[in-house]
Structure 1
Amino acid sequence: MRTPRPLAIDTLIALAMVWAAVRLGQKSVMLGWPELDARAYVLVALMHLPVILRSRVPLLVFGAVQCASIAYISLGYFPVVAVFGPMLVLYTVASVLPTRVAVGCAVVMTAVWVYAAVIDNRLTLGSAVNQALLYCSIMVWFGTRVRRSSELAQQLAAEQAERARREVTEERTRIAREMHDVVAHHMSVISVQAGLARFVLDSDTETARDALSTIEDTSGEALEELRRILQVLRQDSPGSADAAAAPMPTLARLDDLVERVRAGGVPVELSVQGEVRPLAPGVELCAYRVVQEALTNVLKHTRNAAAQVRLHYERHQLTVSVTNEGEEANSDNFSTIGGHGLMGMRERAKLYGGTISVGPCAQGGFAVRLTLPTSATGARWRDERTR
């Protein structure tokens, strides 16, 4: 049901109709009808003033104006004066109530017009019936159209609200995944380097100093990325524009990522095949995060395991593979925080139309292989969703 109009507007409409009905009634003598007297003026008011409440109690108002109309017509006054209020209320009923109710009200109003023609030989029955059917049909049709338009608008607003809630949920999921990746990788490096520094603190101060330097750099990068991610949650806060503008990790930063893992004691080989070219930001972020997650798990769950990271730029896709020779690697290890490591990889790949496989290699060790489309049709619209 539509929101009721302000009383002031309906009051002005009712007063305007009273004025128009009185002016028309004053000319009834010229048309051969009795002159309006005090009783007629009261009935004119009763036929139009209840319109003030038409949006709040439309059926009650319809009944009231029809009763006043019947009394007015029964006393032999000019019947045309009795059409303004009832027609407007019929339109209101059709605009806020089901069609069957509006049709029933239209039948009642038609019967009143037929009654006026029956009791007064100055009116033609056929003309009264035709006019009643025409005007009542118009009022019901317009009212029904307005009601359906209002219902569609409410449905659209509800769908937009639901879509907004869905987008908020997706954004929160993306942020949670980002925080998982950032925290998991950097804390793994920090943990390994802290253990190394404590082990060699007395025997090899230079190595301990290098480990502490790596911890300092890694923790600084972790804080920078976490600060940028958290600023997404409060875009209206001061300084959020600078944070939001901070660059997202790309494949160009893989060298830094590999160096951090090497500093953690895992030999990592990085190789690139094909023509290196810029890709959609979302695609590059997806590839970077998958490599980061895979190397984090190598760092945490394998010992003395060399790893290989390979990028293969093809015409319409990017293939990323991370393999290691560790004997203890298995799919259960891809659950570094809350069991979301492997799930996060698969969600990222699916988001950008790619595929990912995680499992043991035939020759031993473990491998993660990611394939992402780089064509506009394969990645553009998915990338826009992550911006």
Structure 2
Amino acid sequence: MRIHPLAVDGLTALVPATVACLLGAEAATQGWPTLDASAWTLVALINLPLVVRGRAPVAVFLVIHLAWIVYVALGHWPVVNSPAALVAFYTVASTRSHRTTAVCAVVMGGVWVCAGLISGSDAMASVVGQAIGYPLILWRFGYHARRSAELTVQLRAEQAERARREVAEERVRIARELHDVVAHHMAVINVQAGLARFVFDDDAGTARVALGAIGDASAEALAELRRMLGLLRSDSTPETEPGAAEPAPGLDRLEEMVDRVRAGGVPVDLRVRGAPVPLSSGAQLCVYRVVQEALTNVLKHAPGARATVELGYAPGELTVSVVDDAKSDGKGVDSDKMREHVGHGLIGMHERAKLYGGTIVVGPRSEGGFGVRLTLPTSVHAARRGDTVRE
């Protein structure tokens, strides 16, 4: 529970006020006049303003020192109200600039020396030393308190900015996931729906197969969207929370995705070179999404082309390439138009590759068609880093 600043100042004011009352009651035993009604009124006037010291530190400081010099001029013991003066000066030093603090330090030192002279102290050297030493010490402590407060405000601002950046990055990640999931499945559904509509009256069997592919693609899209929503609603992982969202797709589902694209009318060859090595779940999702995006672009922008997906395992790295022969069979697409269409997906590809320490090259091939080449490290360090990334 956070205490209101005014309550804190009120509790702080009780300390010097209590000390002043105790010292005032002992004034006679120290050889000073007993405090009368006017003296106690001045004691209250000196200590009570500390309740609002946080709101007007300089004004409170001036009121206290003015009342204090009047109290001393009436012949009373100066020490009674010195704690309030010290607290007032510390408040100025901890909240105001060096220039203001310096002026208040001179005022406090001057009042302190005047109190010694008025009271006829026989230890003026000690009084002068106190008039110089106390302000300097409190100035130093006040400066550190002010710097700590400033650093706290700065830290909170940085934390708020970091939180805003994380929210923005999370929104980008969600948008990228939605793009990858929805674009691929909607492209398959669109192609199959067009096929079903075209052959509905003449070839019921083909139409039935197309409708089945639409059902499978929509079910897969719903499953992936459900996985994303499950991750957004809960901090627990799918493997540890009963009934949580399905785990992210990986390399084991590449064949399933390729079959779905084949059903959409794009001949796809899936090849694997080298001995497969274990990859982190995040790296597998990266490969899956890049291949998905590349095949979706072939499906949407290079109808009739043949695509080849190849995974090449080499020591320390995995190379994934997706190429099509759109221009070799006379059904090519304009490269600039292709780049325009895949702009958002291309950004997502580069972000995923960079996240897992990889690189990606996207563009038209000299022999015709379009190609995507992803290279990911397969070292233990990279795999561990991928496992820390929550997808």
Tell me the TM-score normalized by structure 2: 0.90
Contact 1:184 1:336 in 2 (8 A): no
Structure 1 residues 359 and 22: CA distance shift in structure 2, 3 A: closer
> How far, CA to CA, are the matches of 1:218 and 1:335 in structure 2?
26
Letter in 2 for 1:214: A
Task: Report the counterpart of residue 63 of structure 1 in structure 2.
Answer: 62
Q: Between the two proteins, what is the percent identity of the paired residues?
A: 55
Distance 1:38 1:181 in 2: 83
Cα distance in 2 for residues equivalent to 1:331 and 1:270? 27
Rounded Cα–Cα distance in structure 2 between residues aligned with 1:326 and 1:310: 17
Shift of 1:123: 3.8
C-alpha distance in structure 2 between counterparts of 1:72 and 1:379, whole Å = 76
Find the residue that maps to 2:247 and give its secondary structure: coil
Distance change (3 Å), C-alpha of 1:199 and 1:319: same
Q: CA deviation at 1:167?
A: 0.7
Query: What are the superposed Cα offsets for residues 112-151 of structure 1, whole Å, 9 maximum, x if unpaired?
Result: 1111222333242221111122222222222221221111
The residue that corresponds to 2:355 in the other structure is: 351
Give the match for residue 113 of structure 1: 112
Amino acid paired to 1:355 = T
In structure 2, relative to structure 1, the CA distance for the partners of 1:119 and 1:4 (3 Å cut) is: farther
Deviation at 1:198, TM superposition (A): 2.2
Deviation at 1:259, TM superposition (A): 0.3
Residues 385 and 149 (structure 1 numbering): CA distance in 2 closer, same or farther, change over 3 Å?
A: farther
Distance 1:336 1:224 in 2: 26
Q: Does residue 1:333 correspond to 2:338, yes or no? A: yes
Structure-2 change in CA distance of 1:313 and 1:373 (3 Å): same
What is the CA-CA distance between 1:287 and the residue it aligns to? 1.2
Q: CA deviation at 1:7?
A: 3.3
* Alignment: residue pair count: 381
2:228 counterpart letter in structure 1? I
Q: Which is worse superposed, 222-231 or 142-151?
A: 222-231
- Tell me, in whole angstroms, the C-alpha distance in 2 between the residues paired with 1:224 and 1:65: 72
**Once the two structures are superposed, what CA deviation does each residue of 1:4-53 show, in whole Å capped at 9, x if it has no partner?**
95434433443443332122123223322222222211111111111111
Name the structure 1 match of 2:92.
93
* C-alpha separation in 2, matches of 1:19 and 1:190: 82
Moved more, 226-235 or 162-171: 226-235
Distance 2:50 2:220 in 1: 69
Amino acid at match of 1:158: A
| Match status 1:42 vs 2:41 | yes
Report the alpha carbon displacement of residue 274 of structure 1 after superposing the two structures with TM.
2.1
CA contact (8 A) 2:226 2:245 kept: no
1:379/1:169 Cα in 2 relative to 1: closer, same or farther (>3 Å)? farther
Partner letter of residue 157 of structure 1? R
Deviation per CA, 1:224-270: give whole Å up to 9, x if none: 2123324445449xx9x667642111111100010011111211111
Are residues 1:176 and 2:175 paired? yes
TM-score, structure 1 normalization:
0.91
* Alignment correspondent of 2:141: 142
- Identify if the C-alpha distance between structure 1 residues 386 and 331 changes in structure 2 by more than 3 Å, giving closer, same or farther: farther
Q: Which of the residues 372, 375, 385 maps onto 2:376?
A: 372
Shift of 1:63: 0.7
What is the DSSP-based 3-state SS (H/G/I as helix, E as strand, rest coil) of the residue aligned with 1:271? strand
Q: What residue in structure 1 maps to residue 29 of structure 2?
A: 30
C-alpha separation in 2, matches of 1:291 and 1:261:
11
Task: Judge conservation of contact 1:28–1:35 (CA < 8 Å) in 2.
Answer: yes
Secondary structure in 2 aligned to 1:195?
Answer: helix
User: Is 1:277 equivalent to 2:277 in the alignment?
Assistant: yes
On the 8 A contact 2:223/2:246 being kept in 1, the answer is no
Do structure 1's residue 129 and structure 2's residue 133 form an aligned pair? no
In the aligned structure 1, how far is the partner of 2:102 from the partner of 2:382?
54
How do 1:105-254 and structure 2 match up within 5 A? Answer: 105-235=104-234, 245-254=245-254
CA shift, 1:334, in A, is: 4.5
Please report how far the alpha carbon of residue 78 of structure 1 lies from its aligned counterpart in structure 2 after TM superposition.
1.0
- CA RMSD of superposed structures (Å): 2.3
Question: Aligned AA for 2:125?
Answer: G
Q: Which runs of 5+ in 2 are unaligned?
A: none
Partner Cα separation in structure 2 for residue 79 and residue 104 of structure 1? 22
Q: Quote the offset at 1:284 in angstroms.
A: 1.3
2 CA distance for matches of 1:314 and 1:226?
A: 34
Provide the rounded CA distance (Å) in 2 between the counterparts of 1:302 and 1:278.
33
Q: Structure 2 vs 1, CA of residues 104 and 379 (structure 1 numbering), >3 Å: closer, same or farther?
A: farther
The 3 A distance-change label for structure 1 pair 100 and 374 is farther
Gaps of 5+ in 1: none
Contact 1:349-1:356 at 8 Å conserved across structures: yes
